[in-house]
Structure formats: C-alpha cells, structure tokens
Amino acid sequence: MARKSAKNSDSSAPATAKPTPIRVILADGQAIYRVGIRKIFALEDDIRVVAQAESLEQALSAAGKFPVDVVLLESAICPDTPDAISQVLKLQPEARMIVLTSEQDEGNVVEYVRRGARGIAMRSISPDLLVKCVRRVAKGETWLDNRGVNWLIEAYRSQAHQLTSPAPKARLTEKELLIIAGVTQGLRNKEIAVDVGTTEQVVKNYLRKVYDKLGVSDRLELALYCLHHQLLKSYLQEPDAITIPPAAQVTPLRAKM
C-alpha cells in the first residue's frame, strides 16, 4: 500500500516546463530557401518560425502582427536595407535582427549594425551555424565574422580620430542645402525630390554624402545640427555654398555608430 502511494505521488509531480521557443520571422525572396531554413528550424525544439515573407512589405506586415524574438531578413528583398532594419525595429523594438546577405562590404556591415542589426550572416551559411547564430542573437549577443568585427573596430577608431583631430573644412553645395531644407521642414525624400526636381534615389544619395560631411547619422541629427549651427540662415546670406565648421569644433549629438 505504501509503495502504491509513493508511485501515485511521483506521477502527480509537475513536469519540468519547456523553455519558450525562439519565435522567428523568416523573410527571404526565394521560396526554396525559406522552405529549407524552416525544415532546419523544425528539427530544433527551441526555435519556431511564426511567419514567412517573400518581400519587405510582407515582412513588415508580419512584424506588425506577430510577437517575435528574431527576424531573419534577406538584404536582397530590401530597396534600402538600413532603412528596412529601422522600419522592422520600429514595429518590433525588442526583436533582434539578423541580415542575410550574398556579399558583404565594410560600409554595409557598419551601417547595418549602426541601424540595429544584431547579426550579419552570408546566405551560404551552414545549417548548424545558422541555428547557432539565431540562438546567440536571441540571447542578446552579436554575430559577425572576423572581417565584420575588424570593420566595426576600425569604424569606431576612425570616428574617435575624427572627434579628437582637426579636420579640413568642407563645403555644402546649393542642392545639398536645398535637400537639407526639405529635411528640416519634415518632408519625405519623395516630396523633396519633387521640389528639387530629381529622383528619390538621388535624394538618398545626397543625404548620405551630407551625413558624411557633417558627421551626423540620421535626419534628426541633421536637423539638430542645422539648428545649432544655423546652416540654412547662413545659406540665405551666401546662396552659392556654405563652409561647414571643422569636425573638431562640433559637439557630436550621438556616436555615428
């Protein structure tokens, strides 16, 4: 009788709760690639694909509907990958972004990380490494290969040098100032393009050059910089071009990285 009671007591003990699986949105333009990755994740008890997307629009829609821990985003489906990272994180601030790319270069890797990507991996990554990447990133770690780490370190060193060393003066062109004026008025790139008489992509290209010249990272920092240094006021007085204060004399609003 005593044995039976002990057996009943053991069977009624609560089972150990399984950890909550890592919820993943898989956004890739190739169906065969999505199917392959989903099958890989299906073999893992701690990873679950909650949504798939073949375009950026679908990825944003999924990010707005499903609670998610990790977003796997193929760079090729994004017209502007850094901007796409920002859009996804605006919808899912707690999500960790992993950018899958067919090729990497220093500028893109640094910009992706600056925009909030926690991992950057080649699409040719092996299945076991992809699983490890998702797990590491889900825990809050950063996933980069050795080249990416070196590029990131060099970017920090370069910025530190710019903040501590005098830089030669640069000049903003009239078109750059027109685009800056549109940004300070809260216009979108498409609206600025109409006003300036160019295309939206050209406006984006100009803005990146302006960011590099002024040492700012985004539209908000650009607007604050213009307010602090009264660039547009100076432009009205001297419409051809305007001299930018040396970087050493400018108090950074936020690290470019």
Q: Which fold has domain 167-249?
A: Arc Repressor Mutant, subunit A (1.10.10)
Task: Cite the residue boundaries of each domain of the chain with CATH code 3.40.50.2300.
Answer: 22-157
Task: Cite the residue boundaries of each domain of the chain with CATH code 1.10.10.10.
Answer: 167-249
Percentage of the chain beyond pLDDT 90 is: 47
> pLDDT value at position 152?
79
Query: What is the mean predicted confidence (pLDDT) over 224-244?
Result: 63
Q: Which of 35-39, 88-92, 168-172, 214-218 has the lowest mean pLDDT?
A: 168-172
> pLDDT value at position 125?
93
Percentage of the chain beyond pLDDT 70 is: 78
Best CA proximity match to 171, nearest among 209, 143, 145, 140: 209
Tens digits of residue pLDDT in 117-158: 999 999 999 999 999 999 999 999 999 988 888 887 887 777
> pLDDT value at position 192?
92
> pLDDT value at position 253?
40
| pTM for this predicted structure | 0.59
Q: Is the CA virtual torsion 174, 180, 186, 187 positive or negative?
A: positive
Asked if the 22-157 domain carries CATH number 3.40.50.2300, the reply is yes
Average pLDDT, the chain: 82
Is the pLDDT at 5 greater than 50? The verdict is: no
> pLDDT value at position 237?
52
pLDDT band at 162 (very low <50, low <70, confident <90, very high): low
3-class secondary-structure state, position 49: strand
Q: Are 104 and 120 in contact (CB under 8 A)?
A: yes
pLDDT band at 16 (very low <50, low <70, confident <90, very high): low
How far apart are alpha carbons 200 and 80 in whole angstroms?
12
